[in-house]
Amino acid sequence: MLKLSTTLMAAVAAVTLALPATAQIQDRTIRVSNGVNQDHPVGNGVTKMTQCMAERSGGRLKLQAFWGGALGGDLQATQALRSGTQEMVITSSSPLVGILPDLGVFDLPFLFANEREADRILDGEYGKYIADKLPAVGLVNLAYWENGFRNLTNSRRPVTRLEDFQGIRVRVMQNNIFLDTFRAVGSNAVPMAFQEVFTALETRAIDGQENPFVTIDTSKFYEVQRFLSVTKHAYTPFLVLYSKRLWDQLSAQEQTILTECAIQGRDEQRRVSRELSERSLASLRQRGMQINEVSPQEAARIREAVKPVYERHAATIGKETVDRMQAELAKLRAN
C-alpha cells in the first residue's frame, strides 16, 4: 500500500508539472479607466498591451478600456482601485498627490531636461522607489507612460531668458507648485479651468498658457497666441495603476504578464507620443507660430530662480523623495 501510495503521488506530481502554463491563468476581463480619449497616444499603448496580454495568456486575459472619464475622473477611478471595486486606471501623477504626496516630485519645475532623462529616472531605481510606496495606499504601478513636456505660449514676446517671464499673465493648473513656479520667475500666475482658457486668451484676459505641443495644436491656441517657447518646464508621467486588493488575487504568472505587457504598452505609447509631439510642433510652425528654444545656459538660470519652489514644497512632498531625485539627476548628468 505504501508503495502504491508513493507511486500515485509521484504520478499526480508529474501530471501537475506537465500542465500547460495557461492553467495558472483564469479568464479575466480587466477594466481600465482613462481620462483621455481613445485617439490619444495612451490608446496606442492600451492596444499594444491588450495584444501582448492575449498572446501571453492564450486569450484568457483581456482589457476592457473606458475612455474620456467614462468611469469617473482620474482621482475618482483611483479611489475605486483602492477600494477594490475597479481593476486599473491610467492617470497622470498630478491628481494623486493627495493620496501619495511623494508624487508631487513630478510637478517640480524644470525637473528633466529631455525625454532621455525622464526615461532613465522613471524606468530606473528612482521610479521603483516611488512605485514601492504605492502598495501602502492600495495601489500597484505596472509602468510609467508619457504625458509629455509642458511648454509656454503667449501673445506678448518670445521667452528666451529668465527676464522674459516678467509680467506675463499665464494660466496654470489649479496646483500650488505650478502657481509658485510662475510666480518665482516673475509671471502673474492665474489659476483657471482648462475649458475657459481659449476665450481668456482671445479676450486678452490672460497673455499665455502652458501645455504639451499636442494640446496646444488640438486646442487651436495658435489662433490666439503668437509665440511658443520650448521651456520644457514640467514633465508629469502617466502611471498604469492596478488595485492592490485585486492584484493580490492574481496568480504570479498573471501578475508577470500584466507587468511585462504594461512595459510593452509603455514603449509603444512613448513612441507614438513623441512622434505626435513632433508632428504637432511642425503643424504649429506651419500655422505661423513663432517658436524658440531656451538655451541650456538660460535653462540653468531659470532652474536657479525656481529653487525656492523646491525648498517650499519639499516638506509636503517628502525631503528624502526630493533629495533622492536631485541626487539621481546629478549622477545622471555627470555621466
Cα distance between residue 104 and residue 288, in whole Å: 35
Amino acid (one-letter) located at 135: P
What is the pTM (predicted TM-score) of this model?
0.85
pLDDT tens digits for range 191-204 = 988 889 999 999 99
What is the CATH architecture assignment of 28-147+236-277? 3-Layer(aba) Sandwich (3.40)
C-alpha cell at 186: 516673475
The pLDDT of residue 3 is 53
Q: Give the whole-angstrom CA distance, residue 327 versus residue 330.
A: 5
Task: Record the cell numbers describing residue 309, joined without a space.
Answer: 519652489
Outline which parts of the chain fall under CATH 3.40.190.170. Answer: 28-147+236-277, 149-235+288-334
Query: What is the spatial distance between Cα 254 and Cα 206, in angstroms, rounded to a whole number?
Result: 50
Q: How many CB atoms lie within 10 A of CB 214?
A: 19
Q: Could you count the other beta carbons within 10 Å of the beta carbon of residue 287? A: 11
Pairs from 217-222 (Cβ < 8 Å, separation ≥ 24): 217/280, 217/283, 217/284, 218/280, 221/153, 221/197, 222/284, 222/287, 222/288, 222/289
Instruction: Please give the CATH architecture assigned to the domain spanning 149-235+288-334.
Output: 3-Layer(aba) Sandwich (3.40)
The residue ranges of the chain whose pLDDT is under 50 are 1-2, 4, 8, 11-21
Q: How far apart are CA 63 and CA 129, in angstroms?
A: 27
| Structural contact between residues 195 and 218, judged by C-beta atoms closer than 8 angstroms | no
pLDDT for residue 311: 93
- Which cell goes with 64? 476592457
| Per-residue confidence (pLDDT) for residue 19, from 0 to 100 | 42
pLDDT at 36: 85
